Amino acid sequence: MNKKTSLIAGSTGFLGSKILNFLYKEDQKIYCLSRRENEINSANIDDIIIDFDTINDLSLPKIDHVYLCLGYELRAWELISMPERKKGPFYKVDYEYTLNIAKKAEEAGATSVSLVSAIGANKNSESFYLKTKGDLEEEIKKLKFETINIFQPGHLAGRINWQRQKNDPRIDVFAFEFGSLFFDSFLISGLKKYRSIDAYNLANFIVKSTIKGSLGLNYYNYSDFKKFITRD
């Protein structure tokens, strides 16, 4: 049986690096698409170093699946009210780059895709952040993948240690991390889906649910993540 082949777009980022940590333990060939080399040395991993502005010139090897976890780094409050100067760069990374990679993956033979979106993503949202995420979801669904997994997490927890490793401590990260611990307890019933999720646990869920596989269009949010964490 041929070994499955996956591409991770954004493999050195906050969530993408964690997806790689789980995926490389599986019996798969992995291509890491990023601006720099990943930190895992394995015969099953090949880095594809790229300037994403030249994505149209990219020719990918044959792959079966693509993980889309690119993201422009924003301050916590910018998710709610994004400054005009940030909208262009954010849109380029989270919409244009991501969609172009999905199209390239489709051309390279991928039959399935896992997209990291956001809870509340909606093409009709008044929030620029959520509208962009919603627009991207709609465009991904137009592609001819047999399986489309869309993950809609709330706040991704665990960034404090990530920022420390980058030697870039940020007050907004500390405030948001501890604030989410407090406010999550008030998000009950239909609001539970907005609760935060630890990025490590989310990455584990993304890899395991993708490998398990369910044909067609699959949406996942906090309730699915929580059941998995509790069971696992």
What is the residue extent of each domain of the chain? 4-231
pLDDT on residue 98: 97
Output b/e per residue, 74-98; b: 16+ Cβ within 10 A: bebebbeebeeebeeebbebbbebb
pTM score? 0.88
- For domain 4-231, give its CATH number from 3.30.70.380, 3.40.50.720, 3.40.50.300, 3.40.109.10: 3.40.50.720
- Residue among 45, 36, 127 at smallest CA distance from 79: 127
Cβ neighbourhood burial of 154 (10 Å; 0-12, 13-18, 19+) = buried
Each residue's pLDDT, cut to its tens digit, for the chain (232 residues) gives 468 999 999 999 989 999 999 999 998 999 999 999 988 888 899 999 999 999 888 899 999 999 999 999 887 778 888 999 999 999 999 999 999 999 999 999 999 999 999 999 999 999 999 999 999 999 999 999 999 999 999 888 765 554 445 555 555 555 556 556 545 555 566 656 667 788 899 999 999 999 987 899 999 998 888 876 644 4
Q: Cβ distance 131 to 96 under 8 Å?
A: no
SS3 65: strand
